[in-house]
Every structure is written in C-alpha cells, then in structure tokens.
Amino acid sequence: MLSPYIYLHKTLSSVKLTNLPEEVIYKGIAASPGISMSRAYLYAKNQVVIDDSKLTDEEIQQEVEDFENAIKLSLKELGKVYELSKERIGEDNSKIFDAQMEMLNDNYFLDSVKEKVKTGNRTAGYIFNEEISKLTAALASSDDDYLRDRIVDIKDVRNRVIRNMKRGKLISKVEENSIIVSHELTPADTILFSRRKVQGYVTDVGGVTSHAALIARTLRVPAVVGTKSASYKIFTGDFILVDGFDGLVIVNPTEETITGYKSKLEEIKEYEKRLYEVFDYPCETQDSKHIELSANIEFDEEIDFVTKFGHCSIGLYRTEHLFLEAGDFPSEKYQIEEFTHIANVTYPNTVTIRTYDIGGDKLLPLSQKEDNPFLGWRGIRICLDRESIFKEQLCAILKSSRKKNLKLMFPMISSLDEVIKAKELLKQVMNDLDEQGFQYDKNIPVGIMIEVPSTLFIADRLAKEVDFFSIGTNDLIQYLLAVDRGNELISDLFQPFHPAVINTIKNVIDIGHNNNIPTSICGEMASNPLAAVLLIGLGADELSVVPSVFPEIKSIIRCLNYEDAKKLAAEVLEFSTEREIREIIERFYEENVNIKLQKPVS
C-alpha cells in the first residue's frame, strides 16, 4: 500500500538541477498531504480555443472519429440536462435543450462538417466553428428578436462540442507523473487525471473541503489549492515541488531546498513506521474507553486499506462516485455488484452507504448549472424528486444486505417531512421485494446526515425516526457560519473550532444519546488530529476518517485518557472565541499526545 503521508516522485531522490531560473514560492492552502516534484502541466479546460492547424492525410480519420465522439458525448450531456431541467422548470421552459440536441442530430449538417475536414485538411473544431459562425451571422442580421436571442444557445452548442473534443486530447497529452496546475478542478477532472498517474494538483481557487480536494486525499495525491495566481505564472514544463503539508508550491527549487525536503521525508518515514504499529491493537483510550474508528470510502482502491490494514467498519461509503465516473446514474445491476462486493469484503464489520449526494460541487461540469448549487437541488432533494432513480438505488442496497452488515444513510436532510418521505419510499421498495421473494435485511439501520442548520432545532423529533445520526462537519460548518468552503478568499473564516460549531456538535450528540441512538462524525473534523481529541471528549460514538490518517487518529486515541478529554471538552464549551478554543486544544494536544507520538515538526 502507498504511504498515507508521503508521495514522492522518483526524480526527487536523484534530480540534479543546473542553470535553472530563480526559485519562486507560491503560498496556498494545504489540501492533501504529501510531497512531490515533477514537471508541471497547465490545464486550461475552460478556454474554448479553436485549433486552426492543418492536418496530414494520416490524421484526418482520427480527427473525424474524435469529432463523432464529441458529438455523442455532447448529446448525452444535453439529454441529461434536458431531463433534469424538465423536472425543475417544466417541459415548455426546457425546449431550448431539445433544440440543441436536434442540431447535433442533424446528419446533413454533421456530414457537411466531416466532408470539409476530409477535403480541406483542417481540424474539425475549425470547420465546426466556421459553420456555426455562418449560422450565427445569419441570425444576427434578422429583425426577429427571438432568432437573435438564439445566438447564445447556438454558441453554447459550439463550445460544448469543442470542449469535449479538446478535453479528451488534453488528457491524452498529459505526460504520466506530471503535476497538474489549473485555475480550478472539478471532481470529474481529478478522477480523470488519476489515470495518468498524476503526482500532484495545484489550483488558484478552492478550499480544503471541496470535493476535488477530498478526492485528491482519497487518491493519495498531494494538493495545494487557493494559490490565487499559480495557473497564470506556472507553465507546462516548469519544474515544481508541491508541499501538501504546508501549502507551498515551489517553482525551480534549489538543491538546498531539495536537500531540506529529503530530510523532512526521512523524519516522516520514521514517524509513519511507529504509526503503523497500532493496527494490531484495540482502538481504546488509556482508561479503556472504546472508540469506534471507521473509514470514509469512495473508490475501490481504498477498500484494500480496509481489508488489509484497517480491519474496520466503513462509516461513510459515498455512492456519488458511481455517478461522477459514469456521467449518469448507474444501473441497479451495477450498484448491486458494487454494494455486494463491499459488504462481503468488510464483513463482519459494517458499511454505512450514503444515498446519492450529488449537487453542490459534485455535479459533472456540464450538468445543470445553478447560481448557488450548495443551497440548491442536491442530496435528498434530487432523490425525492427523481423517485424512480432513488428507489432503484434503495433496491440495490437492500438486495446487497443479506449479510446484515449494511446501514443506510440519507444526506442533506433539512426537514422531518423529507425523512418520512424517504422512509415511505424505502418501505415501498421493501414491499416490492417481499412480493418477489427476495431475501434482504428487513431491519437495516436507517440514519441521516446532520449538516443543515434546520435539523438542529428538530433533532429530537428526527431522532425518533432514525437509528443513528452522522454529523457531516464540512457542510455543517459551511451553512452554520455562512462560509463557502470552496472560496479561498474567506478560507480563514471556515473555522471548525468556532464556538457555534462546537456547541452544535455537542447538542446533537446529547440529543442522540437521550434518544438512545449513536452519533458519528464523518466530516473532515474527524480526520483532523486536534479536532478528533475534542470530538472524543464531546461524546462522539464514532469517528469516520479518510484512510490516509487512520493510523494517526488511532494512535492519538490510544494516547488519550477519556476522562481528561471530557474535561477538555467541558472547558472548551465555556469559551466564546475560536482563538481561545484552538489555543487550549493545542496545549492539551502537545501535553497529552504530541510528546507520546514524537511527531516531526513540519
């Protein structure tokens, strides 16, 4: 298994630098830990650039095939957008997407483009743009306002097709072991680049809890986000070092800098060896308090950690990656295969499967756009609006539950009505399976994510409807403090130790316990060493963490005295500022954890 702390490009140990320009350092936000060094690749996917170069006779057939594939992909995207749009704004208001699809189904028009590519030896993007320009010019000269307004729609079709042609080519041009530098990256981009053995990510925008950053940590690729201007100053081919511990991007590092990082890596390797010794020991405090420590899982690669190292439950299995990778909702058959596999390899430990939590920053880049997606159509809202898709997923989960080690969890809950409706649909699926004679876990535990502030005021009523709470701290903090977690301009305001956040978590845990249901923490706070100490003291029953920090969090738990952690939490609840809370936790950590772990200084 790859080290969860160290990502070291093979050139770092042998590189010799001579006659390079002056070293330049850019500061950003450390989004995924690790150190890597390689050549940069500047990824500018949002720029629609027309390639007007001439083609050789040998390149023409591939160009035509690329154009045909881009048309197919564009039609698929538009079809999905059209269906989503009909759900939200009605069929009449969605006809523009239907019109765009008709344009891409016009064989006469498309054959004309392909023929001109063959006869003119020009790129399909160039020819397609030329033909679109003729059409928009004709519309621009019209006296009809409606026709003139269609110019934007037609240009959108052009941009979509050219982007889809360009995207495949961009990915294929990326040399393996590159470091990707971009203004921003979507989750889909991050997944796609992983196939090119990318060594690191650097972006101008984004925060530590954006989904793209979460995926980088999942894939164990160092990342620095929120640099503000790196993509404008770093170019393809530049030699750069990414420090995902301290949020630094170093262009043209000197030999002295490289030597310093080699020493740092040696310290981390030694520290890591000590951490890995905890796998065979129980997850309990010094005074024998058991703490359930589980893993957040999204990709197949992470399941190996659970089966070979962690031997733990999965506290959060994200299903949206099935949507992100396929570009559409997966079939019931495919989901059954995925869920049955993870249930089997994890047994007898449990797996908490979260239903689709798409939306926010987890939609594909060309899906339906919203002005404020984090407050829009996402999570349980999509599922309840698209009942057939939701019931298909519920059916797949139930059919995979024969070992009785699966749990079901609904995301983005904001009202009791949503919980009741979701449970009604679950009951309908169960009745259908009963009629068909399927065997499944009739008592599958059902829980909800606590992440929307409205749930805090009705938590007692919600607790009577479910079997467990799971606090999603990423969105909870975002909504509670009105701080966009992907906005690097206000990243300092995203404060896990804000008194409102701490008191909210404590209240939810207490309400859960008063109703005899457990509360887990599955957001980034659980994976933060300082926060984990406090969460344990607040009474959290379970911490579900990313695999890369599992051994460290387990080691911290084994260093703690539970009664001392409870006293710390009681003190923290009396403070009124984030600074006071952070300072007392840091002092407690230094005195009770750091000395015992002997963690290297970053």
Point out the catalytic residue in the list 283, 312, 383, 522: 522
Pairs from 338-345 (Cβ < 8 Å, separation ≥ 24):
339/396, 339/397, 339/400, 339/406, 340/399, 340/400, 342/297, 342/303, 342/314, 342/317, 343/400, 343/401, 343/402, 343/403, 343/405, 343/406, 344/403, 345/303, 345/306, 345/307
Q: Is 321 a catalytic residue?
A: no
Do residues 125 and 50 make contact, with C-beta atoms less than 8 angstroms apart?
A: yes
Q: Go through the chain and tell me how many residues it has.
A: 602
269: left (phi over 0), alpha (psi -120 to 50) or beta: alpha
Q: Where are the alpha helices (DSSP H) in 347-466?
A: 380-385, 387-399, 416-436, 454-457, 459-463
What CA–CA distances, in Å, run from 516 to 283, 451, 512, 513, 526?
A: 22, 20, 6, 5, 22
Pick the catalytic residue: 9, 211, 321, 498? 211
Interacting residues of 141 by C-beta distance below 8 A, sequence separation 6+: none
Positive or negative torsion for Cα 33, 35, 38, 42: positive
Locate 463 and state its tokens.
């607790």
Cα 304–Cα 305–Cα 308 angle in degrees, nearest 5:
75
Answer yes or no: 513 catalytic: no
Residues 6+ apart with CB under 8 A from 393: 319, 332, 335, 355, 356, 383
Signed CA dihedral, 203, 209, 215, 217: sign only: positive
Residues serving a catalytic function are: 211, 522
